[in-house]
Chain A
């Protein structure tokens, strides 16, 4: 009897396995992490995904190109507009259509607004994950202003579906320029408040500096893009390296850090919001005149071949790989989604830290689960 008790008594060497998710406030969706712990120290993380796998790539094979755009909204719902743009750019590239400047500028402004609102929501929820509930109210309050601008022009608030092959769905609302300028003026005043609230907070520094370090070599090898990769010094901004839309005619700097810890991933995103505002300010006053969409054939058929388009979403590089056999629906579509790739590094960088740090590290990677599962 005594022997038996001994054998089931918890051993100090034994690892304790905890399920984090699929319903957990800090995983921001249905992500399940099976975490092996030794005391409080994380030994291994095994992500279990697929809880909202909808088979978007399979569905794309049976629908037409304009219809695919509406599915891409539902991948990374916080960068909906940029996802749309990726498909449109790919289709336009395949058909060799010249896009008028007005469309390019409108798309760029919208993309940058999308980036700002995505980072605002990330900042809000990141603060909340680390115990600062006020951040959540600040972030959502300001994000609402961008969503109102979207609503006025696109009709939708989050899933805008504003792009279509050859342009955008409707012309911008007459109030658009005025409201965007008002927002920029407002947000330039508010953004330093974000810093006062969280960036300078001692508790926040303790919880984020030196936590979850990712070296440059690993960032490239794991393919970590977006602000998370640039925080490790990986120069991966597609807007700089392969400019699309109007990014080739504006000046902006790529935000690069070298530390690669949670804090630099945080600052990278804050700085990106400043940069996005600079980009919008350069464009908003000189939107060229012209049509808002090129007339396309009612049924779009891509010539046989393979097309790849990279864009920079709020979370990293989105790749749309279309193989066409000349029909009205694609033969194969692959979305290289940034979150799917960024998730793969979680085990590598969170190993050896405490389980409370896992929340901070996961938050700093800014994962959106529908984009992982597709």
Chain B
């Protein structure tokens, strides 16, 4: 499917979703509550079959904190981007997709480690690179006077 067909396909699943045509991929903004079901539908639906999660990035948007999922279908060779965000900076949490795509296991641990995003139902959510005493360095409000010399 090309970008337009993909957009129509997403509309046919849930017409409330906000779809934006990015310069490379079609981007779908998903509220956290709908994320897991949409992800499962995208993998299992015969028309879509997004079986390859090639990137999962946590992003601090300033006001909001969110996760970006880059998906690709190895059968149909099309790609899509899912974006989800929450304004809860204290305790941001999303549903884990690690049982849909196993590669999400490590990616989600990384997002937890560097941005403090919790993933519910993740099998083993621990810090990955840093130890528990660190803050979340990729957050925009992270201050570390000792280790980062700011100009």
Which residues of B are found within 8 Å of A317, using beta-carbon distances?
A: 54
Known: A308-B24, A344-B105. A334 touches B55 (CB 8 A): yes
How many residues from B make CB contacts under 8 Å with A?
31
| CB-contacts of B88-133 with A (<8 A) | 101-103, 105-107, 110, 114, 128-130
The answer to whether B54 and A223 have CB atoms under 8 Å apart is yes
The answer to whether B25 and A308 have CB atoms under 8 Å apart is yes
- Identify which of B68, B107, B129, B130 gathers the most chain A CB atoms within 10 Å of its CB: B129
Closest to B104 in A: A223
Which residues of B are found within 8 Å of A218, using beta-carbon distances?
A: 102
The complex places the Cα of A68 from the Cα of B130 at a distance, in Å, of 22
The complex places the Cα of A220 from the Cα of B52 at a distance, in Å, of 6
The answer to whether A344 and B106 have CB atoms under 8 Å apart is yes
The answer to whether B24 and A307 have CB atoms under 8 Å apart is yes
The answer to whether A234 and B102 have CB atoms under 8 Å apart is no
The complex places the Cα of A344 from the Cα of B105 at a distance, in Å, of 8
How many interface residues does chain A have, given as a range? 20 to 34
Known: A50-B130, A323-B59, A334-B55. A340 touches B74 (CB 8 A): no
The answer to whether B52 and A223 have CB atoms under 8 Å apart is yes
Question: Nearest chain B CB to A158's CB is how many angstroms away?
Answer: 24
A58 interface hit (Cβ, 8 Å): yes
B31 interface hit (Cβ, 8 Å): no
Known: A223-B54, A344-B106. A373 touches B129 (CB 8 A): yes
Which residues of B are found within 8 Å of A340, using beta-carbon distances?
A: 106, 110
Which residues of A are found within 8 Å of B60, using beta-carbon distances?
A: 332
Of the candidates B22, B74, B128, B129, the one whose C-beta lies within 8 Å of that of A234 is B74
Known: A332-B59, A334-B55. A50 touches B103 (CB 8 A): no
Closest to A332 in B: B59
The complex places the Cα of A58 from the Cα of B138 at a distance, in Å, of 6
Contact with B along A161-194 (1 / 0, CB 8 A): 0000000000000000000000000000000000
Closest to B131 in A: A50
Chosen A-B contacts, 21 in total, with CB atoms closer than 8 Å, are: A50-B130, A53-B130, A55-B137, A58-B114, A58-B138, A58-B148, A220-B51, A223-B52, A223-B54, A223-B103, A235-B74, A241-B77, A305-B22, A317-B54, A321-B70, A323-B59, A332-B138, A336-B57, A340-B110, A344-B105, A373-B129
Not counting A305-B23, A373-B129, a sample of 7 additional A-B residue pairs whose C-beta atoms are within 8 angstroms of each other reads A53-B130, A221-B103, A235-B74, A310-B54, A321-B68, A336-B70, A348-B102
